[in-house]
Amino acid sequence: MKLRVLLFTGIFLAAIFCLPLEQSSAKNDSKKSLLAEVTDSDAYLKKASIRPKLPDYSDEIKALLSKMTVEEKVGQMTQLEIGQITKGNDSNIEIDPVKLKNVVETYGVGSILNVNGHALPIDKWHRIISAIQTSAKNTRLKIPVIYGIDSIHGANYIREGTLFPQQIGMGATWNPALMEKAAEITAMETRAAGIPWSFSPVLDVGRQPLWPRFWETFGEDPYLSSVMGVAFVRGLEGQDVSSDTRVASSLKHYVGYSFPLNGRDRTPAWIPENYMREYFLPPFAAAVKSGARTIMVNSAEVNGVPGHINKHLLTDVLRDELKFDGFVVTDWEDINKLVTMWKVAPNTKEATRMAVMAGNDMSMVPYNLTYTKELTELVKEGKVPMSRIDEAVGRILRVKFELGLFKNSMPDPSLKANMAKPEFQKFALDAARESLVLLKNDKNILPLSKDQKVLVTGPTANSLISLNNGWTYVWQGSEESLYPKDKLTIEKAIRKKVGAKNFKFIQGTKIVRGSGPANTTPTNIDKNVNINKAVSEAKKADVVVLCLGEGSYTETPGNITDLTLPEMQIRLAEAILSTGKPVVAVLSQGRPRIISRIEGRLKGILLAPNPGNEGGLAVADVLFGDYNPDGKLPFTYPKTPNSHLNYDHKRFEVEETNFGNSPFAPQYLFGHGLSYTSFEYSDLVVDKKTISPAERVRISVNVKNTGKREGKETVIVYLRDEVASLSPAGKRVKRFAKISLKPGETKKLAFTLDADDMSFIGINNKPVVEPGDFTVMVGKLSQKFTLSGSN
């Protein structure tokens, strides 16, 4: 057997499966849902990773390149923001014919992106895209413009778009089929606006919870991120990216962006290459293998090298090892920042040369034509070879051909019918429900009775902003007036659930946006509104639903220095708890905000990790028992600010030793999530006690619903290498499957692992498989087997 010749964890190439083999006690439900009953990670990954067969446009690209001037080629490598071709902003934005002609017809700019202010109605998008593509048809070679937009959790820059949970919430579902369907709807609505390219998914792995883009990740595990990332790509691109219901994806932010040492956005990460390949590269490798068409570069630096000039990662690894054949686009203004921020280039012309030669194909400039002019000069001076320009432009043209833009680049009015279909809203509600994680349910206080008198209080109770977070109608997600009036906040959903007679809402505290420089002033500030009144009303209630968490933020404006929940919210919680009434907290947030001061006195805790516009109704459904929660944490929830460890920490980090290490005691473990029913794991069996590197080991386990309600359970398979030449992790996720069980029903699941699953990236940055003992862990069960040293 040829062991691990690729640089990333070999789970992507193994012939593996996990299928329910047997079931008993309850008959299959005859009702058909949008999704299969069992969402099995590797059976799904194996299927979704099959790269679609797209037409080969090499002859067309070669012919077109032969006709293009240097200026036309460099124009294709230029991306400008929408303000460079428009006048006005927000709802008043309109095409400026003079600016548009200069950008597209004079300079041949090949790409435009995003919004100038906030989301636009689909009719306005059609007018803008039509004008841009009409201008492109006036050029000598009639090369269409590729328009790109951040469709992050749905078509969030189209006013009518359907919004889903943010990626951290989708990670909590552990359901790749759900992710694929959400991305498919996102693609359909984005393409309906005439936009063929989305800057998503985020494949950064969230192992630093302070990072203000943590909620844009699928969590801290590279395998879960890989499975969900491939699902996102497959949903966006489908089997034919030229379809009028599909868009090109852009994997971001390649690579290592999410692990800044100090937790602040766009600050240095220090990542040894073997660690990079073990933990941060696998999601990108998996998505490239599945055929993703574009990649966006890390907007920070790793080991002192800014992402945009890291030729080793952009060319040696991405092109030569991973065989990526799409095009690479920079992030916002990042070539210019090589001069202004990173100080690695003396001027923008040299920065342009460095970035292009490192492997960037298109520059998100985005405010002027300096890049276009200076790159043209560099080519004519011989400082950037024409071969490199042809390589970059050829890649860009290929994606434009694959998207079908040369055949028809104009918006199709008939596709407006694909926006905001009722079934899309229903699906978004399903996704929101699955994203919720029940963290605590002391003495089964939940579900609540609809006959109880309920006080709802807290800063996130009446906020769609907190349910959505950034990239919602505007960059920061902060404009309340843009949110749809028919969507229910948590407060409104609970009011509807229990009726006005049994309901009371008092704000308590409020999150307001800060002012001043983002790096010195908090984005969101908590203020006392009427805590005393909330306490007074709590005394009259049977139960209090206390809604805590965060406002909206992303990137640098979301920087914080402490994960602890803001003091004003803690004061509100303590005041309410002092009444002695039972309190259930709902945490609407994108990061795990520390709640240890109050956690022990809360009777119930429900995490709502940015579930989207349907999140209010989803929360009410779970609180009152109309939906049985089934989300699981895709990250470790810390108890104190300076005690964070990821779930796959080294065992010696948390075991009692002569050095006095304290036991690992997070607030909640990775993979934690309660249900209104109960599940029992039994009969974990490893079919062979010893295997050779050429063999596979088959693992089976029984899972039974021992409660009184139907429910879903995510079965997670962990593997531990007991001894290795590099100190091994305590456990790593290798498989998972989400199953539905009726009361009394048992399912037997089988998983297969091979030598690739037992490998790790060695000190020489290459995959290593070493003989020795391994432990499989499922639930509270474990079994050992041995990998021998020869076939």
Which amino acids are annotated catalytic? Answer: 331
Q: What does each C-alpha distance from 46 to 2, 49, 282, 343, 580 come to in angstroms?
A: 19, 5, 15, 44, 53
What's the CA dihedral at 708, 712, 688, 772 to 10 degrees?
-120
DSSP 412-424: -GGGGGGSS-HHH
Q: Which residue shows structure tokens 């939906």?
A: 627
Nearest to 330 by CA among 362, 288, 301: 362
Which letter does DSSP use for residue 29 in this model? Answer: P
H-assigned helices in 19-121 = 41-48, 58-67, 70-76, 97-100
Under 8 Å between Cβ of 235 and 190: no
Nearest to 168 by CA among 511, 593, 509: 593
Q: Which residues pair with 564 in a beta bridge?
A: 594
Q: Which residues pair with 701 in a beta bridge?
A: 749
Q: Rounded to 5 degrees, what are φ and ψ at 502?
A: -100, 15
What's the CA dihedral at 364, 365, 367, 372 to 10 degrees?
-130
Helix (H) or strand (E) holding 475: none
Q: Which residue shows structure tokens 């039509």?
A: 130
C-alpha 564/C-alpha 559 separation (Å) is 13
Helix (H) or strand (E) holding 454: strand 454-457
Pairing type for strands 711-721 and 732-741 reads antiparallel
Amino acid at residue number 555: E
Under 8 Å between Cβ of 527 and 568: yes
H-assigned helices in 369-480 = 370-380, 386-402, 422-435, 464-468
The three-class DSSP label of residue 356 is: helix
Under 8 Å between Cβ of 110 and 75: yes
Pairing type for strands 746-753 and 146-149 reads unpaired
CA angle 221, 155, 462 (to 5 degrees): 80
Tokens of 344: 């690695």
Nearest to 488 by CA among 470, 469, 463: 463
The length of the chain is 791
Q: What does each C-alpha distance from 164 to 228, 467, 700 come to in angstroms?
A: 14, 10, 34
Count of C-beta atoms within a 10 Å radius of residue 639 = 16
C-alpha 429/C-alpha 610 separation (Å) is 13
CA 561 to centroid of chain Cα atoms? 23
Tokens of 287: 């998505």
Under 8 Å between Cβ of 105 and 139: yes
